[in-house]
Every structure is written in C-alpha cells, then in structure tokens.
Amino acid sequence: MRPSQTPIGLLLAQTAKAVSRAFDDALTEAGGSLPTWLVLMSLMRDGPLGHGELAERVGVQGPTLTHHLDGLEQRGLVRRERPPGNRRVQVASLTEAGTAMFHRLRQAAQAHDARLRAGLAAEDLERLRSLLGRLSANVSPSIQEDPTDDR
C-alpha cells in the first residue's frame, strides 16, 4: 500500500538539503563557503579565539578547523598567533580582508534568509520555529515532554 503523503521526515530532509544547497550557492557566489562563514562569523562576534574554542563554536573537530584556518590564512582572511607565555596555544583573529569578507558573506546570508522568508507572515515564522523545535525534541535522546502533546 502506497503512502498518501510523503513522510514528514523525508520531506524535512529533502527541504533541508535544498535550503542548504541554496545557502552554499549564495555563499560561493559571494566568494566564500559555509566553513568560511562560520569561522568568520565566530571571530567577528567573539573576537580572537583559541583553536579549541573556535572549533567548538563552529562545530568541527580540531584537525578540520586547522584545515579551514590554513586556507583562510593563505587567503589573508585570518591570522594565527601564539600568545606570549603560552607557546602551545594558537589564537585566530580576523584581518581587515577577513572583516570585509565577513560583511560580503553576511549580505549573502541576509539575502538568502529574506528569500526563505518570502511570503511568510511573522506568525508563520513563529509557528515554523516552534514546529522545528518540536521535531528536534522528538528525535533527541532525552525527550523532556510527551512527544504526542500537540500544544
């Protein structure tokens, strides 16, 4: 027997993939990528950060972050320095070119977000946030509430 509708999990996965692909395309067109955006945004928001803190904020492992920082440093977007007195730690910070790239990518991110919001009322967006939160809670290992509660 065929399902009458696409399962919500599949629909959500397909939508997430399409939205992610469109965001990647927007960032690429602006001269960046998702990892570049995440690193530059973290450094812009929080200032210079050690590699461990930055990896945590970006959501990657240390070696992956090092790979991204190598590329960003080669492009002149970040600098890495060792603070005096602690040669084991490296701190990453934005260069002027990195700050300029952040602003270009932010414009692309804002345009992408506006595209996503097109035709949605504020109430729609609030309901969407609530529903996405509920879906996430439903699949998290420790559900605090009854997943069948339709509040």
Higher-confidence residue of 147 and 32: namely 32
Q: What's the pLDDT band for 146 if we cut at 50, 70, 90?
A: low
pLDDT in tens, 95-139: 999 999 999 999 999 999 999 999 999 999 999 999 999 999 999
User: Which pLDDT belongs to residue 151?
Assistant: 46
Q: What is the rounded distance in angstroms from the CA atom of residue 39 to the CA atom of residue 41?
A: 5
pTM of the model: 0.81
Q: What sign does the CA torsion over 110, 112, 113, 118 have? A: positive
Domains of the chain as residue ranges with CATH? 30-138 (1.10.10.10)
Tell me whether strands 78-81 and 49-50 are parallel, antiparallel or unpaired: unpaired
Closest among 82, 50, 31 to 42, alpha carbons compared? 50
Per DSSP, 79 falls in state E
CA–chain centroid gap for 40, Å, is 11
- Does residue 13 register a pLDDT over 90? yes
